[in-house]
Structure 1
Amino acid sequence: MNKPGIEREARRLQTEIYSRRERRYEFGVPGIPTLFDPRNVADHCGLSYDERPRLDTDYAGGGEAAGLWQRDWNTILVSTRFPYEVQRFTAAHEIGHYVLHPSVGSRTMHRERPVHGPHPNRPPIEREADYFAACLLMPRNAVIREFDQRFGTKRPLALTETVAYHLKLDLNAVFSAPRGSLLFAEGVARAQQFDRLRFPSLASFFCVSPTAMAIRLEELNLVTPYLPA
């Protein structure tokens, strides 16, 4: 499935959950990160959600997994060996398999480990599940809104000496980073202040890793390490 189709599927689930928010939260509707937390989404989908201190894949030669989608049991399992933000992304990734790949593969599908940065050699269905997770946990409109509140509405935010100074970045490191590096985008994802404003970082607001947030910022064309032509 292409990216627009994957985003539509994530948006469909978000719309369903949002439309029922008043019934689920009678004492006040929480923010986006809680509303679309994988536990809530799994419950909405009728899936069981469980955590384990260790997960092993169940195929010959398999190793440890960060998460498992057990089709036979309609269950998502998540390893607690990884940081909380990774657990959330892993769970959303497994929900992505449930939504996008209902009949693909054997009785289980797994996420072996956190992926640090774009990984084009991963199987297509794994990249699709990763993109679904990004769309679910970091909805396009919510990310743009939070980005604008922190960094202004002139997009994309380009790397300049002034921007690097306000982000408290290492000038030598960011300006010497190779093309394709996430260093600048991760700096934006981690930033807790900009131009005299202080705020929770985008990564902490959406409860994702700085790397996952950086990839999403680039996907949405909100940051660029080069001045726009």
Structure 2
Amino acid sequence: MIMEFDFSKITVEELMFELGKGGHKPGSGSAAALQGMISAKLAQTVISVTKTKKFRDKYLGVIPDLTVRYEEIENIIFPNLVNFFKEDAYYFDKYIQAMHEYEKSQLAGDFYETSRRRKEMAESMKMAVRIPLEIAEHCVKLADTALLAFKFGCKEVRGDSHVSLGGAIASLAGCLSIVQLNFLTFCIVHFYWTTEMSTWYNKLKNDYARLKDEIDICIGILEKEVADRMTLYSEVTSFLEISKTDTQWSDEEIEKLASDFLNMLWKHHQTIWKTELTDSRQVLDPQTIFEEIFDYDFGMLPKLDDNDDGSECAGYIDQRERHIVLSGNYKNVVQNFTAAHELGHALLHNQHILHRDIPLDGSHTIPRLPEERQADKFATYFLMPKKKVVNSFIKQFGKSKLSIDNDTAFNLLRVSTSELREKCKSLREFTILVASAEIYAGKPFKSLAQEYRVSVTAMARRLEELQLVEY
């Protein structure tokens, strides 16, 4: 056992007392090792969270590298730092004891004892240089691991990875200062040894400069994310100041509000979805919007209670408590339209009471109260935005409008025009066929209804509104 007293085995309170009582042990080298130990455990925490089932799929690319680094911390870095903590206190204590004996022998005029004690001090001080360099070397590895975890590991625990990074860099900086201070005690006799240690020191100093730049970059990343989020909140707040004015919006005005809101979502999609989306249709996601922008709790229950009139409830919004709840008793297209309908209420209206909605999928034509009709219209325009639907239509069918003619009849069903008219006796029947089509001119694709996660009839009505079909 290298020390008479093992500082790694006492309580935190006792350790803090020992560090602050004014003694020479444990000293700055041991404190640097302790700081490294804390950084090591924080880095392991980030790696462990990144590998949990909840986040594993998202971070598959970096997990193998992080796993190797976890094992290095567990089996090499942390145990070594514990030993360095003990050794630094031990050897610096030897130096202090030798110094006291040196001073006594000087006062006593004992020339040979003074010389012996001076050599003993030099050998102990060499260890007081080498150990901080070892600690610094380990902290460089820890900092690189924390940096990797911050940039590519679980974002939800970047506080831990950043503190790990900062602690490792602080420990490294402290060790560099300790080494320079201790170099001052060596004379010309130790020139070659000091030169050798200086080469090691300079390599670590370069690592320190690199890591200082990296931690500034990391702080900048977080500052930008905060600024981006505040910009988003500012724009959404300005949008709500216009949209929630209880105005009896026309259909054209609601469509413009939906379009403006969608453009805002796409502009800020990285801030909201925390990733780079590849298609602007991916922002047609009411749940994420409610949760990430408006801080609503979004729930799904197997079945909701009936409305007061006995009709089944498909979902409800409580703007006061910030709750959205959908019934799982309906098809996905009903749930999706209901969620978008509730989003319409959240953006357009100021309901402060629990508001319950009947099951709808956007295909209905029943009479509705003004607020309900506005929310329906918003859901339609939100889930089936004009520009996107038109682009999808042209991409699938190769033209900006489908009519019942020879070309359309053959490419849709491989039939004649008269046979297509026999099958589709009205505009609605024709648009339903188009909205549900999964192949045209021999080219397979998702139907428009499937692509936009709405009912076939809802998509058919939208195609008619956009005059993409004619009978």
Question: TM-score range with shorter-chain normalisation?
Answer: 0.7 to 0.9
Does 2:277 match 1:29?
Answer: yes
TM-superposition CA deviations, 1:158-183 (whole Å, max 9, x none): 22354234222873230x23xxx522
Residue of structure 1 in register with 2:297 after alignment: 48
The structure-2 alpha-carbon separation of the partners of 1:69 and 1:195, relative to structure 1 and needing over 3 Å to count, comes to same
Letter in 2 for 1:206: Y
Measured in 2, the distance between the counterparts of 1:90 and 1:26 equals 25
Residue 7 (structure 1) shift: 1.3
Residue of structure 2 in register with 1:19 after alignment: 267
The structure-2 alpha-carbon separation of the partners of 1:99 and 1:81, relative to structure 1 and needing over 3 Å to count, comes to same
The structure-2 alpha-carbon separation of the partners of 1:108 and 1:159, relative to structure 1 and needing over 3 Å to count, comes to farther
Letter in 2 for 1:51: M
CA contact (8 A) 1:48 1:76 kept: yes
Q: Quick one: which of 150, 157, 166 aligns to 2:411?
A: 166
Residue 24 (structure 1) shift: 4.0
CA contact (8 A) 2:301 2:327 kept: yes
TM-score, normalization by structure 2: 0.43
Q: Which has the larger radius of gyration?
A: 2
Measured in 2, the distance between the counterparts of 1:133 and 1:212 equals 11
Measured in 2, the distance between the counterparts of 1:186 and 1:98 equals 31
Letter in 2 for 1:112: I
TM-superposition CA deviations, 1:162-205 (whole Å, max 9, x none): 4234222873230x23xxx5221111111111122222111111
CA contact (8 A) 2:318 2:353 kept: yes
Greater Cα shift, 88-97 or 35-44:
35-44
What pairs with 1:173-184 in structure 2 (closer than 5 Å)?
A: 173-174=423-424, 176-177=425-426, 182-184=428-430
What pairs with 1:1-229 in structure 2 (closer than 5 Å)?
A: 1-25=249-273, 27-43=275-291, 44-57=293-306, 59=308, 61-103=309-351, 107-114=353-360, 117-155=363-401, 157-168=402-413, 171=420, 172-174=422-424, 176-177=425-426, 182-224=428-470, 226=471
TM-score, normalization by structure 1: 0.84
> Which structure has greater strand proportion?
1
Letter in 2 for 1:113: P
Measured in 2, the distance between the counterparts of 1:28 and 1:116 equals 30
CA contact (8 A) 1:56 1:63 kept: no
Gaps of 5+ in 2: 1-248
The structure-2 alpha-carbon separation of the partners of 1:153 and 1:162, relative to structure 1 and needing over 3 Å to count, comes to closer
Measured in 1, the distance between the counterparts of 2:311 and 2:366 equals 21
CA contact (8 A) 1:190 1:202 kept: yes
**RMSD (CA atoms):** 2.3
Residue 212 (structure 1) shift: 1.5
Measured in 1, the distance between the counterparts of 2:469 and 2:361 equals 21
CA contact (8 A) 2:300 2:325 kept: yes
Higher RCO (CA-CA < 8 Å; seq separation 6+): 1
CA contact (8 A) 1:52 1:79 kept: yes
Greater Cα shift, 162-171 or 144-153:
162-171
Measured in 1, the distance between the counterparts of 2:442 and 2:465 equals 27
Measured in 1, the distance between the counterparts of 2:264 and 2:332 equals 25
Residue 26 (structure 1) shift: 5.1
Greater Cα shift, 76-85 or 116-125:
116-125
The structure-2 alpha-carbon separation of the partners of 1:173 and 1:143, relative to structure 1 and needing over 3 Å to count, comes to same
Gaps of 5+ in 1: none
**Deviating runs (4+, > 6 A) in structure 1?**
none
> Which structure has greater helix proportion?
2
Q: How many residues align?
A: 217
The structure-2 alpha-carbon separation of the partners of 1:112 and 1:200, relative to structure 1 and needing over 3 Å to count, comes to same
Measured in 1, the distance between the counterparts of 2:312 and 2:456 equals 24
Residue 120 (structure 1) shift: 4.7
The structure-2 alpha-carbon separation of the partners of 1:79 and 1:161, relative to structure 1 and needing over 3 Å to count, comes to farther
Identity %: 31
TM-superposition CA deviations, 1:110-140 (whole Å, max 9, x none): 3212257341522232222111111111111
Residue 27 (structure 1) shift: 4.5
